[in-house]
Structure 1
Amino acid sequence: MSRTSARSSRDASDLYRAVWRWHFYAGLIAIPFLILLAVTGGLYLFKDEIDQWLNADIVRVEAQSSTAVSPQQQLDAAVAAHPGEAFRYVPPAASNLAAEVDITTADGKQAVYVDPYTGEVTGTIPYQGSVMWIVRTIHSLNYFGETASLIIEIVGGWSILLVLTGIYLWWPRGRRGGVISVRATPSKRMFWRDLHAVTGIFVGGFILFLAITGMPWSTVWGSKVNELANGHNFGYPDGVRVNVPVSDERLAERETTTWSLEQARLPESTPGREGAPGIGLNGAVAEFDELGLAPGYGVNLPSGPTGVYTGSIYPDDLSRQRVVHLDRYSGEPLLDMNYADYGPLGKSLEWGINVHMGQQYGLANQLVLALACAGIVLLCVSSGVMWWKRRPSGKLGIPPEPKDPRRLRGVLALLAIGGVIFPLVGGSMIVMAVVDALVRRRGARRAATTA
């Protein structure tokens, strides 16, 4: 072998080691969370089906040909059964579903369900306390507090690094085995290495997509991008003019809204003559139906004399997404906006979020992402088994460092680009780089002592 080819082979080996080392670190950080996110995310894809199945005796009613009682009568029945202040009403989305009245009671917020044909209360569930809502808060780590949710942004960035370095390690380089086929048997490390590599190349694209489309929910990066996209004109996307008085109250404080409307402020009603009753809930529901809001929309009730009736629907089909604010006295629409009103950035991010949640393309969207989630779990499990079989007894089994440390610097320079885009991720990479330097220094001292 010539000196040039030997140097080239050594350089390639050093680069491989540097990438493998950071792939290991990325897995160390991301894999525990990837398993959690895959399991909870896979379940949440079927949130409506699961919640309606678990609470069938409460949310389902017998469809009837008779006329339903009025929305106000349904609300009154709910408040009579569970005294408190109603703040939201959700008309039945189908003929066999109950109406929902959300009430602030002495025991906390409750979602009370009412048979729309008889006006009888069918049952109650804590507001935003269903099984699938809890799964959602665990998925976002909000279940563990606001600080914990910062981890999601860090995990998202490391997951992207995990996939990119994994593709480099998977690259065939003249090999055939372990590229799209699995060799050996489960008792051998090669089996788990091949299973990990083959699974990774098939689900890697999904991990990238889910990590990137999950970033808009992140605490730091997501909030800053949201301000960039929708930070003007009272929080509404560019192109939506707000020519009416607005309050300091935000739509997101009243309900779980879309990413693009997290900063949107509520308009204000203009009081009419003294003692004017306003349109009431019945009039508001009639107006929303007349305006053509998709079935399943919710109605936020006015808070205070200048409050508004807000009808909102965020369905699977983005084109039917809509928010309408009505003057509580005149019934006049103060602001009527839908997905078409979002700017280019808002539209693209909303589309990504909708696909991420398994909504945009119906059952096919759910099934494809469910398979991807199962693949992610398999990827993580195979990596753990592979590592366990490879690691030296009593040691962590960090991949060997390159002989030329400049290879690590080159990889770190590339990582820095992602760190600038995602600051929290960049900060965590600096910490890991320091840890790696300490590990290498300790290893060098140990080798010197042994020699």
Structure 2
Amino acid sequence: MSQPTPSFYNLAWRWHFYAGLFVAPFMILLAITGIIYLFKPQLDPLMYDHLINVQPAHHALSADEQRNLVQAIYPQAHISQYLPPINPERSAQFVLHNGGRELNVFINPYSGTVLGQQDAKLNLQAVARALHGELMIGTLGDRLIELAAGWGVVLVVSGMYLWWPRGQTAAGILWPRFSRRGRILWRDLHAVTGFWGAALLLFMLLSGMTWTGFWGKQYANLWNQFPAAMWNNVPASDVEARSLNTAARQTVSWAMENTPMPVSGAHAEHMNHGAHSSGPAAPGVSLQQVYETATARKVEPGYSITLPTTAEGVFTIAVFADDPRNDATLHIDQYTGEVLTDVRWQHYGNVARATEMSVMLHEGKLFGSPNQFAILLVCLMILLSSVSGLVMWWKRRPQGRLGVPPLRHDLPTWKTGVVIMLALAIVFPLVGASLIAVWLLDRLLLLVRAKRPDEAHS
């Protein structure tokens, strides 16, 4: 491969610089919060042993008895969700809204003792998840995360061009030169982790973007389709199942997010399509009956039961399983107990199956500990690459200036690069809009520097 012209190299470097300066803080945050959430199975029993671990006994209270005991302690609270014990050594959990707060309340299913509570939005895992998904600032945070992930793709593409071996020694590209010091060593650490981790980083960025509110929703609408016949005999609303998911809590799987929520049949004929009654729920079936339905239908332990909130609402049994082949989402009529829909892995389309598998790989859950530690390694590589990139910039930047790499005036058109950038702009619209903004800013900076030749020359 012929040696590229300096100006061609400078263009890639310039885009890499812009992308890196914007993306690095987000990548550091995503890696740290990702590690926390990655080890949720180990951290929760360690941190909340008094809340989640119980001594098994011969007889367990019914779901309704447990609910009544919790309601007696929180008489003003509205109970929204019940999570049965995942095994005989675990407590049951209720999610309730009390005085403007959302609480997780834990109860011993044998003795009925309420073990304690935690703030559903401010415990370690909920905060890590909310920061990871939307920076704890709602839609704006979601868009910023999506933008950072899209620019992360730009970062990987430009980085691979910058550091792809071109006949020179592989030292500093395939392995770091620990004999060097200062900026050279930081540069090697950045290049080597980026070179070996590029494919893994792309996988993490793209699999994570399936959950975003803008690109992820369009992706789901395009690819995540179920046979229309599945809903033919089910009275449905315009509310989607994604409404059951929040930044801090996952209820239904990605594949189910854009499916319609059914309505309880006894009231379906009294409602306009998509309109919800303001009346409260008044279930004719008990929570225990819903629990027994889940047991009879062999739903994998670890599921939740979401209670209806309106007169047309339904009970929803949902498990977002570590192995997506065990996913299940059941909607149940609150008056008759009829199972309106029962969606499993076999109902997913091929894209939905691939996406669910990639999401579980992303979260380190699909193959147990090996998957978990592989994702930990990826997160550490992301941290090292991001931190080393920032250190390199800090060491080389001119005093009091941003230190944007210079752009040669005799720059030829980079045809491949233009095609790649156009493709990214089309596939990721937020990236496309920001590319235009950055290009305009770049032109402005060049004009300013052209008017200040002394500073540009220095």
TM over 0.5: yes
Q: Aligned pair 1:22/2:15, yes or no?
A: yes
* 1:386 counterpart letter in structure 2: M
* 1:226 counterpart letter in structure 2: A
Q: Residue 295 of structure 1: CA displacement?
A: 0.6
> Which moved further from structure 2: 263-272 or 333-342?
263-272
Match of 1:67 among 59, 62, 67: 59
* 2:374 counterpart letter in structure 1: V
Residue 205 (structure 1) aligns with:
199
Q: Residue 395 of structure 1: CA displacement?
A: 3.1
- Cα 1:426/1:109, change in 2 over 3 Å: same
* 1:190 counterpart letter in structure 2: I
The aligned runs of 1:289-300 (5 Å cut-off) are 289-300=295-306
Residue 210 (structure 2) aligns with:
216
Q: Aligned pair 1:92/2:85, yes or no?
A: yes
Q: Aligned pair 1:441/2:440, yes or no?
A: no
SS at match of 1:439: helix
* 1:446 counterpart letter in structure 2: R
Contact 1:271–1:305 at 8 Å: present in 2 too? Answer: no
Q: Residue 279 of structure 1: CA displacement?
A: 3.3
SS at match of 2:88: coil
Residue 264 (structure 2) aligns with:
269
Contact 1:142–1:149 at 8 Å: present in 2 too? Answer: yes
TM-score (norm: length of structure 1): 0.89
Contact 2:253–2:327 at 8 Å: present in 1 too? Answer: no
- Cα 1:242/1:171, change in 2 over 3 Å: same
Q: Residue 128 of structure 1: CA displacement?
A: 4.1
- Cα 1:135/1:243, change in 2 over 3 Å: same
> Which moved further from structure 2: 318-327 or 121-130?
121-130
Q: Percent identity?
A: 34
The aligned runs of 1:407-418 (5 Å cut-off) are 407=413, 411-418=417-424
> Which moved further from structure 2: 187-196 or 117-126?
187-196
Residue 274 (structure 2) aligns with:
none
Alpha-carbon distance in structure 2 between the residues aligned to 1:257 and 1:148: 22
> Which moved further from structure 2: 156-165 or 126-135?
126-135
Residue 116 (structure 2) aligns with:
123
Alpha-carbon distance in structure 2 between the residues aligned to 1:264 and 1:277: 23
TM-score (norm: length of structure 2): 0.88
Deviations 1:215-248 (A, max 9, x none): 1222321122222234x7xxx5666334121234
Q: Aligned pair 1:133/2:123, yes or no?
A: no
> Which moved further from structure 2: 15-24 or 400-409?
400-409
- Cα 1:318/1:184, change in 2 over 3 Å: closer
SS at match of 2:136: helix
Q: Residue 126 of structure 1: CA displacement?
A: 2.3
Query: Alpha carbon RMSD of aligned pairs, Å?
Result: 2.5
* 1:123 counterpart letter in structure 2: G
Contact 1:90–1:299 at 8 Å: present in 2 too? Answer: yes
SS at match of 1:244: coil
> Which moved further from structure 2: 42-51 or 288-297?
42-51
SS at match of 2:192: helix
Q: Residue 78 of structure 1: CA displacement?
A: 0.7
Residue 252 (structure 1) aligns with:
242
- Cα 1:413/1:448, change in 2 over 3 Å: farther
Match of 1:39 among 28, 32, 46: 32
Q: Aligned pair 1:158/2:185, yes or no?
A: no
Q: Residue 336 of structure 1: CA displacement?
A: 0.6
Contact 2:449–2:455 at 8 Å: present in 1 too? Answer: no
- Cα 1:332/1:379, change in 2 over 3 Å: same
SS at match of 2:54: coil
Q: Aligned pair 1:398/2:408, yes or no?
A: no
* 2:188 counterpart letter in structure 1: D
Alpha-carbon distance in structure 2 between the residues aligned to 1:250 and 1:418: 29
Which of these two proteins has the greater Rg computed from alpha carbons? 1
Contact 1:112–1:123 at 8 Å: present in 2 too? Answer: yes
Q: Residue 397 of structure 1: CA displacement?
A: 2.3
> Which moved further from structure 2: 185-194 or 371-380?
185-194
Alpha-carbon distance in structure 1 between the residues aligned to 2:332 and 2:200: 41
Contact 2:24–2:390 at 8 Å: present in 1 too? Answer: no
Residue 291 (structure 2) aligns with:
285
Q: Residue 269 of structure 1: CA displacement?
A: 2.7
Q: Residue 412 of structure 1: CA displacement?
A: 4.2
- Cα 1:184/1:227, change in 2 over 3 Å: closer
Q: Residue 137 of structure 1: CA displacement?
A: 0.6
Q: Which aligned segments of 4 or more residues in structure 1 are displaced greater than 6 angstroms?
A: 448-451
- Cα 1:106/1:171, change in 2 over 3 Å: closer
Structure 2: gaps (5+ residues): 246-250, 268-281
Deviations 1:286-345 (A, max 9, x none): 121011000111112233444332211111010000011223343332111112212222
Q: How many residues align?
A: 436
Deviations 1:45-83 (A, max 9, x none): 11232233222111211122x110111101111111111
Alpha-carbon distance in structure 2 between the residues aligned to 1:422 and 1:56: 43
Residue 243 (structure 1) aligns with:
233
- Cα 1:259/1:239, change in 2 over 3 Å: farther
Q: Aligned pair 1:146/2:139, yes or no?
A: yes
Q: Residue 350 of structure 1: CA displacement?
A: 1.9
